[in-house]
């Protein structure tokens, strides 16, 4: 099974050398694993050049199946641990910035007080990529906006208001609240949340078109850009906790609210550590 894992890490890191360092093997051992996998599948999977590595057309077709096989093996090992009781285990979850910064550290600490040997593996992304990771088995569950995913079981946890973010010298800072119409003509920095953007949906419903100048996946990068007067944005209130930037926040009228929840395929087939952590999350937010 090591060769499947090695192949996936090579794709993720883009380098045989980096994959060898990450897995603790020599580069020649990693190369041998790939050759062994290519012999097993009777095809060429990777092309090497001065620019790096690239998947062949067969490699692109087979990659999802290799990932599923590797993930199924990981689930098998977790099931073996489950049958021995929750003495150890890995909770693999997809998450995004505001959750991983402001919720998860305390939640993981409290959970580990009950189950010290459980470890966590966090995959950072946005709603669409997290949903895809859940479906392909790269993570056991993930934090999402339930409205942004399909064909998955979701549990809403909490609602989070979204606020307008302005440079400190912006004319709108003198308004008690701002409207979408006020914001629509300003250079807009869009938080990339995947296929669903709550602010864009509200702009669309109001027959408004924001002046999008930048699309950024990281909330803190957006705040720094706004501090440097590159535009305005709409960000979740959760991520603004303890944000040390020279920016101004304003409520939006009418309010924009996103729902934060968790999503998974089938809870009964999840590893015991992830099942326990999901139950723990639901209890915490009740």
Q: Quick check: helix, strand or coil at residue 211?
A: strand
Contact 34, 4 (CB under 8 A): no
Comparing 25-29, 224-228, 254-258, the range with the smallest average pLDDT is 25-29
Residue 270, token pair as written in the block: 């999840």
Residues 78 and 165 in one domain: no
> Looking at 52, 84, 116, which one is the last position of a domain?
84
Mean pLDDT of 247-262: 93
Nearest CA-CA partner of 210 in 184, 229, 187, 232: 184
Contact 178, 253 (CB under 8 A): yes
Mean pLDDT of 185-211: 90
Whether 232 is covered by a domain: the verdict is yes
Whether 176 is covered by a domain: the verdict is yes
pLDDT tens by residue, 154-172: 999 999 999 999 999 999 9
The total domain count for the chain is: 2
pLDDT tens by residue, 200-236: 988 999 999 999 999 998 899 999 999 999 999 999 9
Task: Provide the domain limits for residue 45.
Answer: 1-84
Mean model confidence pLDDT for the chain: 89
> Looking at 84, 109, 125, which one is the last position of a domain?
84
31 pLDDT above the threshold of 90: no
Q: What is the band of 4 on the pLDDT scale with cuts at 50, 70, 90?
A: confident
Whether 199 is covered by a domain: the verdict is yes
Q: What is the pLDDT of residue 195?
A: 82
The CATH number that applies at residue 65 is 1.10.10.10
Contact 34, 7 (CB under 8 A): yes
Whether 248 is covered by a domain: the verdict is yes
Give ∠ CA 197-148-95 in degrees, rounded to 5. Answer: 90
C-alpha distance from residue 159 to each of 145, 156, 222 (Å): 10, 8, 22
CA distance linking residue 19 with residue 30, whole number of Å: 8
Whether 247 is covered by a domain: the verdict is yes
Contact 126, 218 (CB under 8 A): no
Whether 100 is covered by a domain: the verdict is no
Q: What is the band of 198 on the pLDDT scale with cuts at 50, 70, 90?
A: confident
CA distance linking residue 95 with residue 159, whole number of Å: 16
Whether 202 is covered by a domain: the verdict is yes
The CATH number that applies at residue 227 is 3.40.190.290
Q: Quick check: helix, strand or coil at residue 19?
A: helix
Whether 273 is covered by a domain: the verdict is no
């Amino acid at each position: 099974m090591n060769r499947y894992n090695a192949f996936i890490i090579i794709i993720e890191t883009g380098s045989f050398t980096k994959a060898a360092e990450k897995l603790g093997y020599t580069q020649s051992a990693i190369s041998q694993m790939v050759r062994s996998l290519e012999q097993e599948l009777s095809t060429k999977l990777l092309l090497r050049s001065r620019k790096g590595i690239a998947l062949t057309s067969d490699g692109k077709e087979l990659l999802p199946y290799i990932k599923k096989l590797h993930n199924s093996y990981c689930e098998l090992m977790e099931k073996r641990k489950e049958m021995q009781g929750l003495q150890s285990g890995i909770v693999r979850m997809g998450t995004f910035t505001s959750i991983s910064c402001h919720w998860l550290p305390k939640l993981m600490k409290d959970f580990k007080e009950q189950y010290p040997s459980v470890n966590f593996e966090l995959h950072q992304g946005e709603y669409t990529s997290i949903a895809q990771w859940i479906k392909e088995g790269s993570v056991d569950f993930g934090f999402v906006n339930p409205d942004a995913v399909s064909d998955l079981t979701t549990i809403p946890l909490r609602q989070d208001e979204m606020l307008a973010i302005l440079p400190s010298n912006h004319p709108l800072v003198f308004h008690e609240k701002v409207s979408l119409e006020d914001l629509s003509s300003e250079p807009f920095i869009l938080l990339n949340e995947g296929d669903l953007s709550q602010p864009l949906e509200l702009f669309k419903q109001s027959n408004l078109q924001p002046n999008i100048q930048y699309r950024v996946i990281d909330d803190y990068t957006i705040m720094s850009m706004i501090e440097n007067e590159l535009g305005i944005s709409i960000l979740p209130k959760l991520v603004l906790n303890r944000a040390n930037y020279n920016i101004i926040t304003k409520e939006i009228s009418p309010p924009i609210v996103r729902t934060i929840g968790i999503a998974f395929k089938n809870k009964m087939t999840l590893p015991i550590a992830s099942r326990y952590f999901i139950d723990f999350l639901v209890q915490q937010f009740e």
